[in-house]
Amino acid sequence: MPVDRVVVITTNPAALARLAGPLSQAGLRIVDWSPRGSCTGYSRHVDEHHDLADDPAARGRQLAAIARSISPSDWVVLGTDADIHDVMDRRRADSSLTRLLPTARHHKTLGSKIAMAAALADLGVEQPAWTSASTAEAVPAAVAELGGEVAVKGDRGWGGLAVTRVPAGSAPTGLAGDAPFLVQRWEPGTLVSIDLLVVRGEVALAPYSVVLGEIRERGASYHRVYLPIPDDGLRESLRRLASGLGGTWFGNVSAIARPDGSHAIIELDPRPNAWHAYLGRLGYPLVAALRSVATGTDVPAEAALPRSGRPVVNLTRVVQGSLAGNSVRARALFYPRATWRHVHRGDLALTYREARDLARWVVLTRAGRRRVEDT
């Protein structure tokens, strides 16, 4: 079925703001629900903007109203892990909010790492051995059951946070996050990321990248190298994930490339990643894949076309560091030397442009103008 509009619901529109251009180029109308003053409200690509309420009760009423308005020709995109958790928590009292998920089956993977691991197991997806512990006191027994080195993860953590690594033979102490806990065997190998676009239950894009650098306190990677997927087993796991959950959605899959060349998926975040918007510039057919969403036509054959395995630095995240806020990102414009040491010949250095546009948005917004061409 063709999709007429994308309904974006997010408390942090940064990633979606960068995707607005490709979505618009694909012929999709964009309806944006984000906080008052968000840059998406001033984008020429956004067709309709609504202020998302700060007050939790008022936001709950908005979400219920949005759910009632969703038609089969709409594509709903929840922008962040926090937005997903919010919808899943409210869904317990209002089942109509299931309409804000890509399909009803997605609720099995959202809001709970334990439920996600169980869903991946049901789908036959390769993942590390795991068990669960309902309380902190039950964690030592769960660790002993798995044996060897393990990772203990708070069930509601996200972004690689709320994780405690427990060496083999050690007792778990100082657990991060809250109970219950997912206890997962620690897989030796290299962290990789796959920025999925799934269209009607079919993998449309699966750019594979090796993570070279992370901002750990934010749970965010800033330095990657994109490569063709080297493992047919991983391709099969991604296919099972897409077909088993169905629907149309952006997602980020974190996996470990084992020394023997196989892969274990350790996490699925079914929302846009900050890297999705850059895929077209890396050589992936992002707009063509999104156009298949808009037209309801066959998904184009997935093309893995990274530029010769070149390392890519996301300078937006470098400049942000562990800080947050528009003023910090705009430093790339006002203090460019802060980014120079991170730039190498051939890097995908997009942040300077983004910071420039962000600064223009701030200036023009204060001057009372409502649109910024490049936002």
What's the confidence (pLDDT) of residue 195? 93
What number of other Cβ atoms are within 10 A of residue 362's Cβ? 15
Say how far apart CA 132 and CA 114 lie, in whole Å.
Answer: 7
Residue 106 backbone zone (phi > 0: left; psi -120 to 50: alpha; other: beta) = alpha
Q: Rg of the chain's alpha carbons, rounded to an integer?
A: 21
pTM: 0.84
List CB contacts of 372: < 8 A, sequence separation 6 or more. Answer: 39, 42, 43, 44, 357, 360, 361, 364
Q: Which two tokens stand for residue 334?
A: 């006002």
> What's the DSSP call for residue 116?
H
What amino acid occupies position 28? L
Beta carbons of 249 and 270 less than 8 angstroms apart:
yes
Say how far apart CA 229 and CA 233 lie, in whole Å.
Answer: 10
Beta carbons of 123 and 241 less than 8 angstroms apart:
yes
Say how far apart CA 43 and CA 49 lie, in whole Å.
Answer: 9
**Nearest residue to 203 via CA among 256, 230, 233, 240:** 240
Of the CA atoms within 13 Å of residue 213, those in its CB half-sphere come to 11
Which residues of the chain carry a pLDDT beneath 50? 304, 319-355, 358, 361, 368-375
Q: Is the C-alpha dihedral spanning 345, 350, 353, 356 positive or negative? A: negative
Q: Is the C-alpha dihedral spanning 116, 159, 186, 151 positive or negative? A: negative
Say how far apart CA 330 and CA 324 lie, in whole Å.
Answer: 11
**Burial track 65-103 (b if 16+ CB lie within 10 A, e otherwise):** ebbeeeeeebbbbbbbbebbbbbbebbeeeeebebbbbe
What's the confidence (pLDDT) of residue 26? 96
Q: Quote the distance between the C-alpha of residue 308 and its chain's center.
A: 25
The CA–CA distances, whole Å, from 244 to 144, 295, 368 equal 32, 23, 48
Lay out the sheet containing 29-34: strands in order across. 48-51, 29-34, 5-9, 74-78
What's the confidence (pLDDT) of residue 231? 93
What's the confidence (pLDDT) of residue 374? 36
- CA–CA–CA angle 55, 269, 131 (5° rounding): 110
Helix, strand, or coil here: 183?
strand
Helix, strand, or coil here: 30?
strand
Beta carbons of 145 and 133 less than 8 angstroms apart:
no
The CA–CA distances, whole Å, from 144 to 129, 169, 179, 185 equal 13, 8, 18, 11
What's the confidence (pLDDT) of residue 364? 52
What's the confidence (pLDDT) of residue 13? 82
Q: Is the C-alpha dihedral spanning 4, 200, 204, 18 positive or negative? A: positive
